[in-house]
């Protein structure tokens, strides 16, 4: 059976991506799913749960509710919770069962917003797609809703697409912010780690946006269209690529032109990086490696020679002559015996298994 995962796990689902993207922003996220599933989205796929609480709820969908289409129970429960919590916004998202029964989340969100007077977003998640899809939709929604036109700061920058599913909670997001400040930039908003709801109103003040993961690109494209803010895709890993990225940021801020230096790699030899395409692509640039992006096939992130293979069979076939592979440790089970694995744990892939080994590679030298 093609595309059946029998050896390596799948990546976190789109519903978890919504919960992670909105975790720190002061909203209320409600997942329409069975009772007890909240831990999957809010703890197993969320490393901040023990140190930073967030209003993430499960609807406790029952079999009868699903069969009979009892949307009123969900709407009234959310309305009652919002009256107690006073969130900055409300998000309602789906899982596999509502997808199968055809729940109209747009209508539900509209009714909740009418009753509460609180901005409510419908997320069209179904639990079958990558976390990047859910996080992309969530970050775009809050950007559209809360970014305001403002005088442009010529040294202002936004960091878009920061979630611990890719950057973890080991100081990587803070290191990116510190690196930006050393480059002479002032961070207006980091969407969405280490900043709160109020920071969203400053998104329009930036002269350039730094997209640090693929889920930040839709928000960056909206800010480009609505406010004329250019974006640069990449994350400052390594030493050589950090210099390239800094030059691209200053150039974009001055010229207004977008750039994607994370796509500038041209793989030579048999070196591969597997993972989220902005992070793994930036690493591939540093190492002169090929990129394999199992989480998205968006060609905007893939250079010639890269692959969007997602199944075990496809990835194993691409790696049949690999000599060095930079990837999560769980990929070792599909590597050829002669390939050397350089373990870089990815929380969105292996979760808690190797979380304490995830390195902070910002501005750090990386070698084979």
- Closest by Cα among 53, 63, 129, 60 to 85: 53
Domain assignment present for 167: yes
Dihedrals φ, ψ of 307, to 5°? Answer: -140, 150
Number of compact structural domains in the chain:
3
174 and 111 within one domain: no
The size of the chain, in residues, is 368
Containing structural domain, residue 249:
153-262
313 and 257 within one domain: no
Tell me what percent of the chain is helix, strand and coil, each rounded to the nearest 5. Answer: 45, 15, 40
DSSP letters of 54-89?
A: -EEEE----HHHHHHT-HHHHHHHHHHHHHHH--S-
Residue with tokens 């970050």: 139
Domain assignment present for 280: yes
Label residues 282-304 b or e (16+ Cβ within 10 Å = b).
bbbbbbebbbbbbbbeeeebbbe
Its pTM surpasses 0.75: yes
- Closest by Cα among 255, 206, 264 to 234: 264
Domain assignment present for 8: no
- Could you tell me the CATH number of the domain that includes residue 29? 3.40.50.1980
87 and 54 within one domain: yes
Domain assignment present for 140: no
Mean pLDDT by 10 residues, the chain (368 residues): 76 94 96 79 79 90 83 95 97 91 94 98 94 97 96 96 94 95 96 92 97 97 97 96 96 96 80 96 94 91 88 93 95 94 96 93 87
Strand boundaries in the chain, DSSP class E? 28-31, 55-58, 90-93, 120-123, 156-160, 186-191, 208-211, 231-233, 271-274, 290-292, 324-327, 340-343
Evaluate whether 328 touches 347 at the Cβ level (below 8 Å). no
80 and 62 within one domain: yes
Cβ-proximal residues to 37 (8 Å cutoff; 6+ apart), any chain: 31, 58, 95
173 and 273 within one domain: no
Q: What is the pLDDT of residue 68?
A: 83
301 and 271 within one domain: yes
Cβ-proximal residues to 247 (8 Å cutoff; 6+ apart), any chain: none
* Alpha-carbon span 285 to 45, nearest angstrom: 28
Domain assignment present for 137: no
**What does the block give as tokens for 85?**
């919590």
240-244: which pairs have CB atoms within 8 A and are 24 or more residues apart?
240/285, 240/286, 241/282, 241/283, 241/285, 241/286, 242/179, 242/362, 242/363, 244/285
* Alpha-carbon span 53 to 185, nearest angstrom: 30
- Closest by Cα among 321, 320, 290, 288 to 306: 290
* Alpha-carbon span 166 to 164, nearest angstrom: 5
Q: What is the pLDDT of residue 367?
A: 75
């Amino acid at each position: 059976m093609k595309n059946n995962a029998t050896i390596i796990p799948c990546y976190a689902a789109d519903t978890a991506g919504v919960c992670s993207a909105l975790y720190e922003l002061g909203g209320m996220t409600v997942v329409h799913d069975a009772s007890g599933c909240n831990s999957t989205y809010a703890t197993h796929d969320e490393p901040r749960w023990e140190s930073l609480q967030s209003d993430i709820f499960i609807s406790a969908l029952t079999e009868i509710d699903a069969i009979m289409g009892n949307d009123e129970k969900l709407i009234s429960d959310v309305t009652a919770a919002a009256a107690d919590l006073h969130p900055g916004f409300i998000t309602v998202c789906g899982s596999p069962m509502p997808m199968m029964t055809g729940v109209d989340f747009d209508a539900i969100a509209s009714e909740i917003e009418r009753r509460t007077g609180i901005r409510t977003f419908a997320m069209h998640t179904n639990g079958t797609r990558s976390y990047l899809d859910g996080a992309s939709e969530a970050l775009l929604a809050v950007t559209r809703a809360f970014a305001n036109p403002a005088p442009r700061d010529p040294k202002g920058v936004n960091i878009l697409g920061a979630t611990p599913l890719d950057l973890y909670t080991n100081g990587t997001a803070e290191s990116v912010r510190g690196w930006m400040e050393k480059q002479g930039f002032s961070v207006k908003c980091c969407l969405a780690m280490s900043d709160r709801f109020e920071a969203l109103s400053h998104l329009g003040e930036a002269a350039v946006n730094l997209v640090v993961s693929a889920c930040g690109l839709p928000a960056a494209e909206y800010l480009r269209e609505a406010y004329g803010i250019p974006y640069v895709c990449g994350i400052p890993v390594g030493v050589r690529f950090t210099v390239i990225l800094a030059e691209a940021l200053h150039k974009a801020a001055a010229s207004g032109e977008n750039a994607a230096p994370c796509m500038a790699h041209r793989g030579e030899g048999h070196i591969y990086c597997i993972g989220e395409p902005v992070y793994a692509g930036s690493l591939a640039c540093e190492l002169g490696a090929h990129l394999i992006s199992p989480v998205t096939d968006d060609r905007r992130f893939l250079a010639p020679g890269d692959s969007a293979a997602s199944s075990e069979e496809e990835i194993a076939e691409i790696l049949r002559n690999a000599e060095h592979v930079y990837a999560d440790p769980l990929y070792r089970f599909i590597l050829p015996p002669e390939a050397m694995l350089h373990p870089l744990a990815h929380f969105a892939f292996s979760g808690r298994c190797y979380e304490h080994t995830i390195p902070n590679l910002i501005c750090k030298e990386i070698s084979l």
